[in-house]
Amino acid sequence: MRFAVDLAVKKHSCFACRATRLSRTETGDWSVHLWDGSRITGRKVWLAAGVIGTAQLILNSIDTLRGASFGDHAPYMAYASGLRRLLSARPGRHFNAYTLERIESSHCDVFASIYDMGSAELNLVMGSATNLIFPFLRGIRSPSLASMLQPVQIWTMRSFSRIALDTTGTRYSSHLDDASTDNGLCKTIAAISSLGGKIWHHNRTPGGLGFHYHDLHMTLDDGRKMPVNNLLQRWSDGHVLCSDASILPTIGLRPHTLTAMATARCFVKKRSEQ
């Protein structure tokens, strides 16, 4: 992805400074305000700052908005034992050791990742256990004992959440979809058992910490919610557009990075030809 971005901007000027907001100039062009106080002016602005970054830029730019909301996929975190033999049998060592999928009628309704903490950087283990990381541990692999417990991250069709941001974009509240009788979770636990593992504990990831963000809506001053590009079309007459995962109304269980990239490419190409 980094190569694709570098190739796309190769013939354009790059500014190593964070954008803070957008505004219209007296001549009708658009200005991107940068963190250092400078501005970049152009006829059209493409936003691809990620769902949270895009929401923050828009909230900073349009005073009449009440806030924003977006979707997230808040998976389960399960902690298993009994899978060390399975992990040691694989040909290479990688933190993301195995992926489990359940396909029903050509549709993935369960997606799970089994992690090998013994193949992870020590900082990741420390961060998971204590919420602290240490720069001097960067690049150091965890001891093999870290693999005694095998974390399993489980995404199902019922493990989604909705996040609401306030007008500053800094405070949020979340709502988790009801997953009290999640059949996908039960099937994953059964699959882990069939591999010789035992899940000792599982819990739901809080809304907003699943990092599979999508479906950005902006909240208008009258309380209505509008998809991000519909709002930008109305506000800028089509001169400011979003092309990141914010515009995906739904996502599947597999990581949606390539879907977002393909959608953005088609969207930009179509708009550029108009």
Helix 228-236 / helix 50-61 crossing angle, nearest 10 deg: 30
Residues 6+ apart with CB under 8 A from 76: 153, 154, 156, 159, 185, 202, 203, 204, 205
Of the candidates 232, 236, 245, the residue with the CA atom closest to the CA atom of residue 49:
245
142 vs 58, more confident: 58
Query: Model confidence at 129, in pLDDT bands (50, 70, 90)?
Result: low
CA angle 68/76/69 to nearest 5° reads 5
Distance CA 34, CA 22 (A): 9
Among residues of the chain, what percentage have pLDDT more than 70? Answer: 97
Distance CA 138, CA 161 (A): 33
- Calculate mean pLDDT across residues 1-10: 76
Task: With a cut of 70, say whether residue 1 has pLDDT above it.
Answer: no
Class of domain 2-68+218-273: alpha beta
- Calculate mean pLDDT across residues 225-244: 95
Position 18 scores a pLDDT of 93
76 vs 136, more confident: 76
Phi-psi map region of 59: left, alpha, beta (phi>0 left; psi -120 to 50 alpha): alpha
Distance CA 48, CA 42 (A): 16
Position 135 scores a pLDDT of 80
- Where do you find CATH 3.50.50.60 in the chain? 2-68+218-273
Task: With a cut of 80, say whether residue 128 has pLDDT above it.
Answer: no
76 vs 12, more confident: 76
Coil, helix or strand for 153?
strand
- pLDDT digit string, tens, across residues 36-93: 999 999 999 999 999 999 999 999 999 999 999 999 998 999 999 998 888 888 777 7
Phi-psi map region of 194: left, alpha, beta (phi>0 left; psi -120 to 50 alpha): alpha
H helices present in 198-256, as ranges: 228-236
Distance CA 8, CA 2 (A): 10
Of the candidates 77, 22, 89, the residue with the CA atom closest to the CA atom of residue 49:
22
Please give the mean pLDDT across all residues of the chain: 88
Position 148 scores a pLDDT of 78
Contact between residue 244 and residue 264 where contact means Cβ atoms under 8 Å apart: yes
- Partnered with residue 226 across adjacent β-strands are 218
Distance CA 74, CA 29 (A): 40
- Calculate mean pLDDT across residues 205-227: 92
Position 258 scores a pLDDT of 86
